[in-house]
Amino acid sequence: MAICERIGVFGCKATTRFLLENLDIPYPVRYLITLTPEAGAKHDVADYCDLKPWAEAREMEVYQARYYSLKHPDDIAHLNRLQLDIAFVIGWQRLIPAEVLSSLRIGAFGMHGSAANLPRGRGRSPMNWSLIEGRQAFYTNLFLYDPGVDSGDVVDTFKFQITPHDTAETLHFKNTLAMKYLIERNIEAIVRNEFRRMPQDTSLRPTYYPKRTSDDGLIDWELDVAALERFIRAVTRPFAGAFTFAGSEVVRIWRAQVFDVNDFGYERALPGTVVAIFERGHFLVKCFGGLLLVTEYESNAPIQKGVKLDNNGREIRHFPRNPQGFFDLSEA
């Protein structure tokens, strides 16, 4: 039986570093495939982390890819020369090309999850979408990469709770811990190439979440107060945050909560209107269905009582929904 001496990790985020710092397995990770800071900025990678100095200090061999897609001939040639036994993929939100996958002796293992579990909820930003949709649980899957979009065989699954207090950041924490746990639980079977492979349920039609960008953080004040609160939690740090406008000034909202479903006498105010400002700068916004208390925000100008927050003429992107009212859609 071959010994796994060539284990690598693909990743370029703070979650990648957390996994490498905390993964407790008896096999050293010797290789890191990551991105330069310039490439991280070019591709607008949320929570990007320059891992090269940290990894080299721990005697890991680091390769910084030319392109996030890994499709450049130089990237493919270098990765093939590494002759990796196993790769773990975390904090790398792109497919791994077939030319790279075929060079791995055992395979590449990544994580993907959704609130409905695979093959439902493939695609982009499933944790953000789960918060927006008001889901209460999330399934993280350790799966074997193939050239498709989150279509590989599942090795193991871990289910965790989505609480009313979770944000994009805390779900990333939970998801990374789930990945760590799943790798540790399955590492011996993986290195022996004797791991369980469960094909995804072919009786279910796969669905895919669409890509979100920082521009999709624009707040739609036509939503009800509960949906707005979930939306703010879904796009807060490490993402670009929810934002709106007070006149021409951008107001970026990082944290808010449903204050009350009662209007406290502000029934006549239009949705999006700042109706009260408290001593520490927290302010109340009138919404459909109640009041939203904003407790952390950024703005170049003070927020004034009576100002109407809006989109300043910018178009709000409205994503289509499936028959159940969620945002994961079947392929056309």
Dump the DSSP string for 293-318. Answer: EEEEEEESS---TT-BEE-TTPPPP-
Q: Which of 116, 95, 166, 177 is nearest to 142 (CA)?
A: 177
Same domain, 142 and 278: no
Is the residue at 19 inside a domain? yes
Q: Is 240 found in the same domain as 305? A: yes
Tokens of residue 49, six digits: 């982390």
- Calculate mean pLDDT across residues 121-143: 97
User: Cα separation of 229 and 250, whole Å?
Assistant: 18
* pLDDT averaged over every residue in the chain: 95
pLDDT band at 2 (very low <50, low <70, confident <90, very high): low
Q: Tell whether 55 and 203 lie within a shared domain.
A: yes
Residues 120, 248, single domain; the answer is: no
d(CA 155, CA 9): 18
Are 195 and 319 within 8 A, CB to CB? no
Return the closest-CA partner of residue 4 out of 159, 193, 176, 133: 193
Q: Are residues 170 and 219 in the same domain?
A: no
Is pLDDT at 40 greater than 60 in this prediction?
yes
Domain's final residue, options 140, 174, 209: 209
**CATH code (residue 298):** 3.10.25.10
In this structure, is residue 171 part of a structural domain?
yes
**Percent above pLDDT 90 for the chain:** 94
CA–CA gap between residue 96 and residue 270 (Å, rounded): 49
Say if 331 falls within a structural domain: no
Helix (H, G, I), strand (E, B) or coil at 46: coil
Residue 323 falls within a domain, yes or no? no
Residue 109 in domain: yes
Write down which residue in 209, 233, 250 finishes a domain: 209
User: Are 134 and 237 in a shared domain?
Assistant: no
pLDDT at 1: 46
Cis peptide before 28 (omega within 30 of 0): no
Q: Which domain holds residue 242?
A: 214-310
Q: Which of these, 211, 207, 177, lies nearest to 115 by C-alpha position?
A: 207
What's the structural domain count of the chain?
A: 2
Query: Does residue 305 sit within a domain?
Result: yes
Q: Are residues 167 and 220 in the same domain?
A: no
Q: Does residue 4 register a pLDDT over 90?
A: no
| Dist. CA 233–CA 131, nearest whole Å | 7
SS3 314: coil
Do 42 and 191 belong to one domain? yes
Distance CA 328, CA 309 (A): 30
Same domain, 181 and 127: yes
Q: Which two tokens stand for residue 314?
A: 């910018």
Shared domain for 91 and 193, answered yes or no, is yes
What's the confidence (pLDDT) of residue 331?
80
Residue at which a domain ends, from 188, 209, 230: 209
Residue 231: inside a domain, yes or no?
yes
pLDDT digits (tens, 9 = 90+) for 290-332: 999 999 999 999 999 999 999 999 999 999 999 999 999 998 5
pLDDT digits (tens, 9 = 90+) for 49-68: 999 999 999 999 999 998 88
**Do 195 and 54 fall into the same domain?**
yes
Q: Residue 249 domain-assigned?
A: yes
47 and 187 within one domain:
yes
What's the CATH number where 105 sits? 3.40.50.170
